Structure 1
C-alpha cells in the first residue's frame, strides 16, 4: 500500500445507466423525481443505484435550479446564551422538525458581534439559503435590514419593532406579563418589583409594559432594575440591586425563568425565604422553572410550537403560497407553582 491513498471514484448517472441497461435520460428522470417512467424501468434503476452506490450531486442540481434546499436559523444572541437558553433550543428543534419533514436543511447562524453581522450578511447575500427564520431581532438590527433588502422569504420569532409588514410568530408578551403580575398581586404582595431584561427587543420591552399595566397607579419605577440579557447571572445582580433599593420588597416578576432562578439565589443569600418573605414569578416555563426550589410560577411559552410555526411559514412562502402579513400569536397560560 502506497503512502497516498486513492480516493474512491464517485459513481455517476452513466454508471447507473450501464448497470441498469437503461438510457441516461431515463435514469435522470427517476433521480429528479419525474413521472412517466415505467415501473419496470424505475425498479431496475433503483436496484442499480443501490448496487453502484450512486449519490445525487445536490450541489450541482441546486445550482441549476437556483435553490439550496436550506433555510437559515439566525439567532442574535451571545454564544453562551445560545447554548444555555432552553427556549432558543426548543425553538430550534421545533423549526428543524418541520424543515426536515419538508426535506430542507437548517443552517444555524449565530450573531455575537459586528463581525458576525457582516459575515452573516455576506452569507445571506450570496444566496446560500432559500429563506430565513430570525430569532431575537433587536431594534435597528442590521440583519433585519439585509433580509428585507434581499426580499428573502423570512419569518421572525417575535416582532421586530420597526417592521409592520413582515410575517412573524410570537406570543402576547405584554398581556401575559400583566396577567402573571396581577396573579402575584392577588397573593397579597404590596411592594412588587421587576427584573427587566432585554429591553432592546420586543419581548423584553413588552414584558415591562405588561408589568407596568398590572401595577397601574402603584407602579414605582425605582422597583424596576434593568439587566441586559435573559440569563441567570443577570437575575443574581438584579435581585441584589432590588433588595438594596427596597429591603421590604415582597414580590418580584423576573423577565425570564433563568433570571428568576438567579434572583432566588440572591434572595437566599440575603437570608430571606421564598415564598415566605418574597413571592417570585418568572416567564417561559422552561427547564429552569422545574429545576428551581421551590419550582417557579411562570408563563408557559410554547417554544417548540413557535419554531414549528415559523418554519411552516417560511416553507409556505417558498412554495409560493400567499402568506398573511402580520403575526401569529400562540397561547401562553399561567403555570402556578410554589414560588409565589
Structure 2
C-alpha cells in the first residue's frame, strides 16, 4: 500500500512501526544495533506499506552498492554465440537466485584499450566481481589485487597466490582427451589450441604434449585457434597442409572442433575413419555430425560455486583458501 502523499517513505515506515527514523533506517539497512522486537515491527511495516529503500541512499549507510559485476573480457558478440559464455551467464544468474543483488555485465569493446574494465571496477560501482574468459594482457588481475575488492575467477588466474578461483582440471581433461586418441590407435596426433594467453588453453596444450611423450609418440602439428568455429576451421586447414597424414586431433574446445569437422568433411576426410577428433567442453557436442567425443566441463556448476563464494566474501563470511577444482570426464561420441 502507499501513503496519501505517494510512495511510502522511511518516515512512514518509522511511524507505522512505532520506532524512531534512525532505528527504522538501521533495521532496513542490515539490522545493526536493532532489537529483535524493533526489527520485527519494521519488517512488518515495510511489508504492509510496500516500502522499497532508495539504493543510492542505502549505499551511503551500508557502503554497499548491492551490485556485483560479471566481467567477460571478450567482444559482446561472443556471449551470444559461445555456449561456454552463455553457461557462465546462466550460472551467475542461478547463483544470485534468492538475493536482491543486481548483476552488472561488463564486456570488452572492439578496439578498447586494455585496462578500461579494470578502471571501472576500481571506481567502486560494485561490491564484488566474477571474472570469466580472461586473458593475461587485460590488466584485470593486477587491478583487482591492488583494489582488494572481493573477486572470484572462473578459470585459473595467472596469480594463484593472491586471487580466488573455481576451475575444471584442464590438464587432466587434456590428458584424457589425448589418451583417448592414443588408445584408438592414432599415431600422428595434432592439436588445435585455444589462445595461449589464457591458462585453460595453456594447460590443455601442455597436457597434450605430456601425454604423447608418455606414450612414446612424437608431437604432431600445432595450430592455434581462438575458441571460435571459424578459428577452429582455419586451424584445421593449416594442419592439413603441415601434416597431411594426420590421423587424430585434440581440439581445445567444441566450437573449434565444429569448425574442424567442417574442414575435414570438405577435404574428403572421414571422421573417425581417417581422422579421429576429440573436443573439450561438452557444450553442444551432440549437435555435430558425427556426434563429438569430448571432455565435460561443468560450466554452470562451476559458475554457481564461484558466485556462492563471492557472496560469502562480500558478506564477510570466511571462505576456503583453496580453489574449488572440478574433475573432468570423457563424454563418448562418434568422432573418436
TM-score above 0.5: yes
1:176-255 alignment to 2 at 5 Å?
176-216=173-213, 217-220=216-219, 223-227=221-225, 229-255=226-252
- Return the alpha-carbon distance in structure 1 between the equivalents of residues 131 and 205 of structure 2: 22
Confirm or deny: 8 A CA contact 1:301 1:332 kept in the other structure: yes
Alpha-carbon distance, 1:99 to partner: 2.5
TM-score, with structure 2 as normaliser: 0.88
- Return the alpha-carbon distance in structure 1 between the equivalents of residues 37 and 76 of structure 2: 50
- Return the alpha-carbon distance in structure 2 between the equivalents of residues 188 and 131 of structure 1: 48
CA RMSD of aligned residues (A): 2.4
Deviations 1:222-250 (A, max 9, x none): x11112x1000011111111111222211
1:1-340 alignment to 2 at 5 Å?
10-16=7-13, 20=16, 22-23=18-19, 25=21, 27-28=24-25, 31-32=28-29, 34=31, 35-37=35-37, 41=41, 45-46=45-46, 48-50=48-50, 54-113=51-110, 115=112, 117-216=114-213, 217-220=216-219, 223-227=221-225, 229-287=226-284, 289-340=285-336
Deviations 1:153-187 (A, max 9, x none): 11111112244332111111112111111111111
- Return the alpha-carbon distance in structure 1 between the equivalents of residues 261 and 43 of structure 2: 64
- Return the alpha-carbon distance in structure 1 between the equivalents of residues 92 and 58 of structure 2: 25
Confirm or deny: 8 A CA contact 1:30 1:37 kept in the other structure: no
SS in 2 for 1:186: helix
Deviations 1:30-75 (A, max 9, x none): 544645336995586246414xxx3211221112211112111111
Q: Where in structure 2 are there 5+ consecutive unaligned residues?
A: none
SS in 2 for 1:100: coil
Alpha-carbon distance, 1:92 to partner: 2.1
How has the CA–CA distance of structure 1 residues 14 and 121 changed in structure 2, closer, same or farther, with 3 Å as cutoff?
same
- Return the alpha-carbon distance in structure 1 between the equivalents of residues 19 and 142 of structure 2: 49
Deviations 1:185-223 (A, max 9, x none): 1111121111112111100011111111111142335x1
Confirm or deny: 8 A CA contact 1:95 1:309 kept in the other structure: no
Q: Where in structure 1 are there 5+ consecutive unaligned residues?
A: 1-7
Deviations 1:121-146 (A, max 9, x none): 23212111111111122224311111
Confirm or deny: 8 A CA contact 1:167 1:323 kept in the other structure: no
- Return the alpha-carbon distance in structure 1 between the equivalents of residues 145 and 44 of structure 2: 47
- Return the alpha-carbon distance in structure 2 between the equivalents of residues 47 and 109 of structure 1: 34
Confirm or deny: 8 A CA contact 2:13 2:42 kept in the other structure: no
Which stretch of the first structure deviates more once superposed, 180-189 or 313-322? 313-322
How has the CA–CA distance of structure 1 residues 83 and 248 changed in structure 2, closer, same or farther, with 3 Å as cutoff?
same
Which stretch of the first structure deviates more once superposed, 204-213 or 75-84? 75-84
